[in-house]
Amino acid sequence: MKILKKDDDKKISVRKKSVSKKAKVDEENLVKTDDSSSIGSKEIIGYIDSFRSKLLITLLLFMILTPVTFFFSNTLLNYINKPFLATDNKLNIFTLMGGFMLRFKVSTAATLFVLMPLILYQIWSVVSKGVLKNRKMFSGVIVVIALILFYSGVAAAFFLLLPFMVEIMISFNHADMLSTVGADSYLSFTLLLCLSMGIIFEVPVVIFVLTRMGIITPEMLTGKRKYAIVIVWIIAALTTPPDVLSQAIVAIPLMVIFEISILISKYVAYRRKS
């Protein structure tokens, strides 16, 4: 009987030891999962802190450069108004503060235009941490390409689209009617046109990043091509005068950009597979 009791005690002690070991293992696993989740949260907090610090630097530079560009705002306005003044018409100011607001608006736009390289670099430096790790050289190339595309879109809008669109829109005015176009509305139209074209020219870079992340595929883009063509022509119809020629001038470059984006997506997908 004593021998049986000793055996039972040994078995119970062994079971207790095994249970305690399992409990310790479970606790260690829980600690590891907690550590991994804390690491993930720390990385997210680090991204937010870095983005916030970079945003503060951009705002500080914006506040410093805006007074400088305001000093040259009158020259900038003369240059921006040239496409409209070439039609032998004059722009009008309808409020007492209209002249100051025009100069302030154009100085703000000029400051953003100057700071665009820094803004794109800061945005990409945050995004590239999750997209392209250990490829700083490649990230720099992406930023340069994005800048070239943005400024190319702005230049195409200002030097090609704007003079043509102004001439077309003025031609619709009746000869017996006096055209009193507001300077503020013309400036807003010009800035919106240039900004929208600059953003549209960034589509290839966006397609590259989304394909790299696996969010979109070349098959998805080619399958939605007919819908993209319809959307392109709708955008052209909303942003241009009601004639086919001006709409085609806007729609055709957008369609070319979309096809280039498909080629870029195919190249990125091919590199990922290989």
Q: pTM of the prediction?
A: 0.73
Q: Work out the number of other CB atoms within 10 angstroms of the CB of residue 38.
A: 10
Beta strands in 58-209, from DSSP E residues, in sequence order: 91-92, 181-182
Q: Are 268 and 210 in contact (CB under 8 A)?
A: no
pLDDT tens-digit map of 168-211: 888 877 777 777 889 999 999 899 889 888 888 888 888 887 88
Strand extents, DSSP E, 46-143? 91-92
Backbone φ, ψ for residue 243 (5° rounding): -140, 150
Residue-wise pLDDT for 212-247, tens only, equals 877 888 888 888 888 888 888 887 777 666 667 777
Report which of residues 46 and 181 the model is more confident about: 181
pLDDT surpasses 90 at 136: no
The per-residue pLDDT of the chain, averaged, comes to: 78
Task: State the pLDDT confidence band at 108, using cuts at 50, 70 and 90.
Answer: very high
